[in-house]
Chains A and B, each alone.
Chain A
């Protein structure tokens, strides 16, 4: 599974309140949530991500609340993947569960805003096409890959329960 997108760069500790502010949680509809993705830190993000974006961030991405709307909003705003130095644990699980690919890697010093990235999620390889370099990320644990390959947690559970 290879994913392409333009790099959009953020700092450390991007919390779920800036990814999708609490007042929008009643919206429910993923397309509506997507219009407000990253609004607390970068209201321009939905426009930047229109052609497909890969977020490159620092430590502790997705810290704060358990709101699954955070990865849902990012995914539906055409975020193809999030690459961060580390993730907050609930966001990490939520992203995998809703099918938003994520990778742990420290790459901010090798990526500029707008660089064209190609990501091999299964093997954890990130290629910066613009700069012509390849970077190895920490591979996802087998169970996470199993859930992603099933198409998210609900389908993974359906398979486990023999419903499909």
Chain B
């Protein structure tokens, strides 16, 4: 069996599972946030059990509209806050305590290799970075998990991406995953799992692996996953004392498809609106002027991402007429960026640094776009209306490409800025 099948077999108490099989699986960890939480709670009340199945396996993180921008959002957050208290959920990250849920889940040791994690958010797939099978569900599915601790899942087919070589300088995990999505399309992995392997993936840190797994949903995947290695084990051991048992694919494991990619041939890439799979080299898009750049989110708001942006922005200025918004992914990322002097670099470049959270990616507050505006963002979605006006355009790229574009005032390959 491959890693996906082995994790689902363990979680469902089966010796062996096969793609297409429906299993009833035990959930190791469940996550929800301020925006999906209220509906989860309503459905949980509708089911009518008094207590959640295990308060120590539930994590609640506020990130989507923090601090709340409207009275309604503040009220919904109060509702989730009191549910956490009522149910004795101790892993509750209120405003100022956590950050973007998918950043916090990894850095605070809530995810371990071999686990089954579900989250009421589509980007829950991020946790595959640590060798867990993690998938997003809707509010009612999550309410059923809170009530029973289990969920039905169809065992997915798994596509293996074997990435050889090393990424060139100023080419990042983001460029690699944009390349993959451009290659297989926005529904290229629907109902399937994407397994990332090979030298280029192994050489990525956990931050880069998180970027890749995070965007597997943009190809429709049920999960994205990296086979755990020494880096994974070290990362997890630094964050939790709980025991864990890493699961890896058997040597003769089968995959429904295998793609081979040479990382050394890649270049900085950009996804053009309104499709994540419409991918072109940044160097070919230099005529496109921008109004806003945005660096942050569950895709690219981690420390390695801010370091890459700072390297470009150091000693340079954001072009007049362009606004650059930088939002560290968590309190921890914020603190470390502060200690390393990255925030100083950003402020001196003329960027605005926001408080940890989802920021304008969700199109609610803190940097939404006007009609006809163009933004280049390090996030994961460029859909119509995603960041505000349906008449705005969103381009997706790595933090380095966003930073380079903010300096030039037009979409720019970062290699043009630093040689």
Residues of A bordering B, CB below 8 Å = 13, 15, 17-18, 21-23, 25-28, 39-41, 59-60, 63-69, 86, 88-90, 93-94, 97-98, 141, 143, 152-154, 157-158, 160-161, 163
Contacts and interface: CB of A to CB of B under 8 A. Distances in A.
Contact of A161 (B49, B136, B187, B191): B49
A94 B186 CA distance: 19
Contacts of A69: 39
Given A66-B121, A157-B148, A163-B47, 4 more contacts: A13-B275, A18-B390, A153-B140, A161-B47
Interface stretch (B196-204, B333-341, B343-351, B378-386): B378-386
Nearest to B74: A26
B139 A68 contact: yes
A15 to B, nearest CB: 5
A64 B122 contact: yes
B120 to A, nearest CB: 6
Interface in B131-182: 136-141, 143-144, 147-148, 152
A15 B226 CA distance: 27
B140 A89 contact: no
A18 to B, nearest CB: 5
Contacts of A97: 138, 140-141
B87 to A, nearest CB: 17
Contacts of A64: 122, 381, 383
A40 B385 contact: yes
Interface string B60-86: 000001000010110010000000000
A15 B383 contact: yes
Given A66-B120, A89-B222, A158-B47, A152 B140 contact: yes
A31 B219 CA distance: 32
A161 B48 CA distance: 10
A31 B332 CA distance: 40
A28 B76 contact: yes
Contacts of B137: 66, 90, 93
**6 pairs of A and B residues whose beta carbons are closest in the complex:** A94-B138, A60-B187, A68-B138, A97-B140, A17-B383, A40-B385
Most chain B CB atoms below 10 A, which of A28, A59, A68, A158: A68
A154 B388 CA distance: 33
B46 interface: yes
B38 interface: yes
B249 interface: no
Contacts of B38: 28
Interface in B18-72: 22, 35-36, 38-39, 43, 46-49, 65, 70, 72
A90 B122 contact: yes
B354 interface: no
B141 A23 contact: no
A103 B137 CA distance: 20
B384 A40 contact: yes
Contact of A154 (B43, B122, B190, B362): B43
B224 interface: no
Interface string B347-390: 00000000000000011100010000000000001011110101
Given A60-B187, A89-B190, A22 B147 contact: no
B190 A88 contact: yes
Contacts of A143: 22, 152
A18 B36 contact: no
Contacts of B43: 153-154
A66 B73 contact: no
A17 B381 contact: yes
B220 interface: yes
Most central of A65, A69, A86 by chain B CB within 10 Å: A65
Given A25-B35, A67-B36, A88-B220, A17 B47 contact: no
B122 A66 contact: yes
30 contacts: A15-B383, A15-B384, A17-B384, A23-B363, A23-B388, A26-B35, A26-B65, A26-B70, A40-B383, A40-B384, A40-B385, A41-B384, A60-B187, A64-B122, A66-B36, A66-B136, A68-B139, A86-B187, A89-B190, A94-B138, A97-B140, A98-B140, A153-B143, A154-B144, A157-B144, A158-B48, A160-B148, A161-B47, A163-B47, A163-B48
A162 to B, nearest CB: 11
A26 B72 contact: yes
B187 A88 contact: yes
A89 B10 CA distance: 23
